[in-house]
Amino acid sequence: MMPPDCFLCDKGLATGDNCELICFAKTESDHQWHTLAQSEAGLTGHPPECGWFCEQHLETVKSLTHLTISGALQHIRERESWHLIYIDLFDRETPPMIQRTGVGYESGFCEFWDHILPTTETDGRRYPSDYRLGFRCGIPDYSLPRSCPDLTLIKQNLPTAEEETATGTIKQLSISQAAALRTNGLPGAEECLRQYCDRLSGTQP
């Protein structure tokens, strides 16, 4: 039986993170496994077309359950890898540095927002640091301008009473931007942010 550890990162039993079992399209050998499991052979354990995934990767893999598990993992690792780039604006001689890497657009956007929101105050002041989210497959980096009303608006409307609520707010934005990126590329992710901020400001229902 496979331990409940994410197939895409190091989260799981050892880190105290819950993972969910997600099943994909069956291969011929998967069908044979199920046939044997129903026979007197009595196979035990998780079906071979299923795998464990943490909360940050759930939406990523759920969008690919029409593929086999090996096909889905290959797609994510090859086409949805990302790196978070830190830019020190105080010391201009310090080159941009990659701070985090991972796979799955949702987790990439979550990391981006988790890092860039602390660089701004609710009055719009920015600290001398910035972040960009880089992708593979020819997609340009995702970034925000230094003077960014959208960033300030999100900071102003971010719940502060409960950390879990604030995390959930950023998670939903990240999921929406990831889906838009898959469908319409970088312009889709940018438009998703504009629509989200329009709802926050009350200019869009």
55, two tokens: 């909360």
pLDDT reported for residue 163: 59
pLDDT reported for residue 30: 94
pLDDT reported for residue 205: 57
Domain end: 59, 78, 97, which one? 78
Using a 10 angstrom Cβ sphere, with 0-12 exposed, 13-18 middle and 19 or more buried, the burial of residue 94 is exposed
Domain end: 8, 43, 78, which one? 78
pLDDT reported for residue 161: 52
Count of structural domains within the chain = 2
Does residue 123 form part of some domain? yes
pLDDT reported for residue 165: 62
pLDDT reported for residue 164: 56
pTM of the model: 0.86
Domain check: are 41 and 94 in the same one? no
Domain check: are 55 and 151 in the same one? no
The low-confidence residues of the chain, meaning pLDDT below 70, are 1, 40-43, 160-166, 203-205
Using a 10 angstrom Cβ sphere, with 0-12 exposed, 13-18 middle and 19 or more buried, the burial of residue 47 is middle
Domain check: are 188 and 101 in the same one? yes
Q: How far apart are the first and last CA of the chain?
A: 47
pLDDT reported for residue 136: 85
2, two tokens: 């496979």
Domain check: are 175 and 90 in the same one? yes
pLDDT reported for residue 42: 64
pLDDT reported for residue 139: 92
Domain end: 60, 78, 96, which one? 78
> Domain range for residue 112?
82-201
Domain check: are 187 and 103 in the same one? yes
By C-alpha distance, which of 130, 141, 132 is closest to 92?
130
